[in-house]
Amino acid sequence: MKIWRWILVPLMAALSLGATTTTAAAAEDVVATEVSFEGSGGVVLHGTVVAPAGQGERRAAMVMVQGAGNRGRQVIRPDADAFARLGIVVLIYDKRTEGYSLLHRDYSVLADDALAGLRLLSARPDVDPRRLGLWAASEGAFVAPLAARRSDAVRFVIAVGAAGVEPALQTRWQWSEYLRHGGVSGSLAYTMRETAFRTVVAAGLFTESDFDAAGAWTGVHQPVLAEWGELDHDVMPAVSAPLIRRALARGGNTGVTIRTVPGVRHSLHLTANGGFDHLDAVPADYGRYEAAWIDGLPNVPGAGAQEPADREPEVPVIAPLPWYGTPWLQLAGFTLLVLGFAAYLVTAAVRRLRGRRYCPPVRRPARWLAGAGLAATLGAPLYLLFMMASAANVIGPVALGRPLPWLALQLLAVATVAAAAATATAGWRRRREVPRGERVRLGLLVAAGGLFLPLAAYWGLLLP
C-alpha cells in the first residue's frame, strides 16, 4: 500500500469527484477520458473510460474488473484499447487500496465498486444501457457474478480465466504448476502445496480462502461468456469450466457460452513460455469474438448454451492439519528454536565484550549448531513466505530439483543435525571438564538441536 495514496485520495475526492478529463489516446481511433467515481463505502476510485472516436451512436459498454493484486488499470489497458477499437466503450479503474490488500479482501465490496463503475458508464450519452455489462478476469470473476446478481443493469457477463473452485484450491494448484514448470520437485513442492499452504489458511492469513466460486454463479440470469486460455496454468480450467457451467444451469441460465481459446495464457494474452509468463501483448484478433457475441445477444438470447457434463468433475480437497501442525504450536516451536540458538551466540558475544577468554571443551561443534540452526530456523520461513508472496513465480536457478536457496537451507539443516549430535556426544564425554553453568548453557543448546529435528523434517528441510 503506497503512502501517497493515503494523502492524495481524500484531497482528490474533495476537488474532483465526478470530474472528467478527456485526452486523445495514442491511437487516433480511441479516446481516453480520465474519471473519478465513488465506490463502496465512499471510497473514491480513479479510472479511464476508453471509447471509440466519433459521436452520435450509442454503443455496447462494459466495466472491466481486473484480477488479483493492485497493479493499476494500465495492466488491462491493452485489452481496453482492443475492445474500444471494436466499437465497445469500456471503463478500467484502479482497484481500491482501502479494504483490499494481500491479507484482506472482500469480494462483496469489490462487486459494489464494479456496480458503481457501471452507473458511471450508464450515464454517458454514447452508451446503450441495453448492452451494458461486466468483463472480469481471474479474481475479478469472483466479483462479477456477485455484482450481476445484485443489479439488472448488468445485461451480460464475460469471464476470463474464472476459477470454479474455492481460492484455496485454485492457489494451491497454481503453485504446483509453476513449481513443476520451474523444475522443482521433492520436498519444496510438497511443503509449498501442503504444509505451508495449509498453515497459512489455518492461521487466517488467506482471506476469502473458502469463497464458493462456483456457487456464486448460481442465480446469475444474464447471458454469460466464460473463456479460458488453452495454456492457463492458474485456475484449473478443466475442473473450473464444468463447475461454473453446472452452477449456471442449476440457476436456470440457458444463455451460457463456454470457450477455450487456443495458444493463449490465463489472461488470453500472448505467451512466449507456454503460458507461464506475463506478457501484456494481446493477439491480433483479440476481442473480435467477444464483440460479435455481444452484438448477437439481443437476437439470439440462448446462443452458445451448453448442457452440463454428465458427471461432476473430480475436485481435490485440502486435508486438515495434524494436531502438531497447528499454527500456534508451530510458532511456539520456531520461537523456542530461535531463543535456544540465539541465546548461545548472545552469551558468547557478551563474554567476549567483557574480556572473558573461557573456551569450553565443545566450543567448535556448539558454535556450528547455534549458527547453522539459527540460520536455518529463520531462513526457512522467510524463504517460504517469499515464495508464497510471489505465487511461486520467482524460482531462479534449480539444482537437483531444488532452487538454490532451498538447497542451501537443506544443507544448513543437515549441518545443524550433525552439529547437534557432535555437541551432545562431546559434551557427555567431557562433562567433568565443563563447569555447571556451562552445562546448563550447552544443555539448552542441545535441547534446541533436538527440537530442530522434528520441525525441520515436518517442513521438508530434511526430506529429499
Phi, psi of 463, deg, nearest 5: -110, 150
pLDDT score at 298? 59
The number of CA neighbours under 13 Å toward the Cβ of 396 is 10
121 neighbors 91 (Cβ within 8 angstroms): yes
Evaluate if residue 187 carries a pLDDT over 60: yes
Asked whether residue 255 falls in the same domain as residue 116, the answer is yes
More confident residue, 29 or 310: 29
Residue 151 CA to residue 125 CA, distance in Å, equals 21
Residue 187 within a domain: no
- Give a yes or no: residue 305 inside a domain: no
Q: pLDDT over 70 for what percent of the chain?
A: 88
Number of domains composing the chain = 2
pLDDT at 291 over 70: yes
- Residue 15 corresponds to which amino acid? L
* Averaged pLDDT, 421-430: 84
- Same domain, residue pair 149 and 288: yes
301: its cell numbers: 438470447
State the Cα–Cα distance between residues 83 and 63, nearest whole angstrom. Answer: 11
Residue 440 has pLDDT above 60, yes or no: yes
66 pLDDT exceeds 50? yes
- Indicate if 384 and 450 belong to the same structural domain: yes
Task: State residue 207's pLDDT score.
Answer: 85
Q: What is the pLDDT of residue 316?
A: 81
Q: Looking at residue 310, what is its pLDDT?
A: 47
Per the model's pLDDT, the better-predicted residue between 264 and 432 turns out to be 264
pLDDT computed for residue 71 by the predictor: 86
pLDDT of residue 257: 95
263 and 405 in a single domain? The answer is no
H-assigned helices in 182-270: 187-190, 197-202, 237-250
Q: Give the three cell numbers for residue 264.
A: 493463449
Res 117 pLDDT > 50: yes
Q: Assess whether pLDDT exceeds 80 at residue 345.
A: yes
pLDDT over threshold 70, residue 308: no
Give tens-digit pLDDT for 451-463. 999 999 999 999 9
Inside any domain, residue 205: no
In this prediction, residue 11 has a pLDDT band, given cuts at 50, 70 and 90, of: very low
Q: What pLDDT sits at residue 352?
A: 73
pLDDT at 359: 59
Element (H, E) at 129: strand 127-137
Domain with residue 264: its CATH number is 3.40.50.1820
pLDDT at 161 over 80: yes
Q: Which three cell numbers stand for residue 74?
A: 494500465
Give the per-residue pLDDT at 388.
92
Residue 192 is assigned to a structural domain of this protein = no
pLDDT tens per residue across span 354-399: 766 555 667 788 899 999 999 999 999 999 999 998 989 899 999 9
Termini Cα distance of the chain: 38
Same domain? 288 vs 332: no
Quote the pLDDT of residue 166. Answer: 95
Instruction: Give the pLDDT band of residue 100 (cuts 50, 70, 90).
Output: confident
Reading the block at residue 95, the C-alpha cell is: 482497484
Mean pLDDT of 301-305: 42
Q: Report yes or no on 302 lying in a domain.
A: no
What is the reported pLDDT for 3?
32
- Rounded CA gap, 58 and 441, in Å? 80
Query: What is the structure's pLDDT at 7?
Result: 32
Query: pLDDT tens digit string along 233-263?
Result: 999 999 999 999 999 999 999 999 999 999 9
Domain membership flag for residue 258: yes
Q: Which residue type occupies 325?
A: G
Quick check: 37 and 116 in contact, CB under 8 A? yes
CA angle 326, 332, 333 (to 5 degrees): 90
Instruction: Map residue 409 onto helix, strand or coil.
Output: helix
Is residue 366 within 8 Å of 424, Cβ to Cβ? no
pLDDT band at residue 6 using 50, 70 and 90 as cut-offs? very low
How far is Cα 77 from Cα 74, in angstroms, rounded to an integer?
5
**Cα of 118 vs its chain's centroid, Å:** 26
pLDDT at 182 over 90: yes
Query: Is the dihedral angle over the CA atoms 209, 214, 217, 223 positive or is it negative?
Result: positive
Domain hosting 121: range is 3-166+211-296
Treating both helix axes as pointing N-terminal to C-terminal, what angle do 436-458 and 363-389 enclose, rounded to 10 degrees? 30
Ranking 18-27, 70-79, 126-135 by mean pLDDT, the lowest is 18-27
Whether 131 maps to a domain, the answer reads: yes
Query: What is the band of 105 on the pLDDT scale with cuts at 50, 70, 90?
Result: confident
d(CA 293, CA 298): 10
Mean of all residue pLDDT scores within the chain: 87
Mean pLDDT, range 32-42, rounded to an integer: 95
Judge if 291 and 384 occupy the same domain: no
Q: Are the C-beta atoms of 422 and 209 separated by less than 8 Å?
A: no
Lowest mean pLDDT among 15-29, 114-128, 146-160, 416-430: 15-29
Determine which of 125-134, 290-299, 345-354 has the lowest per-residue pLDDT on average. Answer: 345-354
225 and 101 co-located in one domain: yes
- In 3-state terms, what secondary structure has residue 151? coil
pLDDT value at 26 more than 90:
no
Partners of 89 in beta bridges? 61
Q: Do 374 and 448 sit in the same domain of this protein?
A: yes
Same domain, 276 and 370: no
Beta strand 59-65 with 89-93 is: parallel
Looking at the structure, tell me whether residues 278 and 141 fall in a common domain: yes
Which pLDDT does position 1 carry in this prediction? Answer: 35
- In this predicted structure, the answer to whether residue 33 has a pLDDT above a threshold of 70 is yes
Give me the long-range contacts of 136-139 (CB less than 8 A, separation at least 24): 136/64, 136/65, 136/160, 136/162, 137/64, 137/65, 137/66, 137/67, 137/76, 137/161, 137/267, 138/66, 138/67, 138/68, 138/162, 138/163, 138/234, 138/235, 138/266, 138/267, 139/67, 139/68, 139/167
Cell numbers at residue 179, please?
513449481
* Residue 190 forms part of a structural domain: no
- 205, 238 in Cβ contact below 8 A? no
225 and 335 share one domain: no
Element (H, E) at 296: helix 288-296
How much is the average pLDDT of 160-164? 97
Task: Look at residue 21 in the predicted model and tell me its pLDDT.
Answer: 41
358 and 268 fall within a common domain? no
Q: What pLDDT does 163 receive? A: 97
Q: Is the pLDDT of residue 162 over 90?
A: yes
pLDDT at 135: 98
**In Å, how far from its chain's centre is CA 389?**
7
Predicted structure pTM score = 0.85
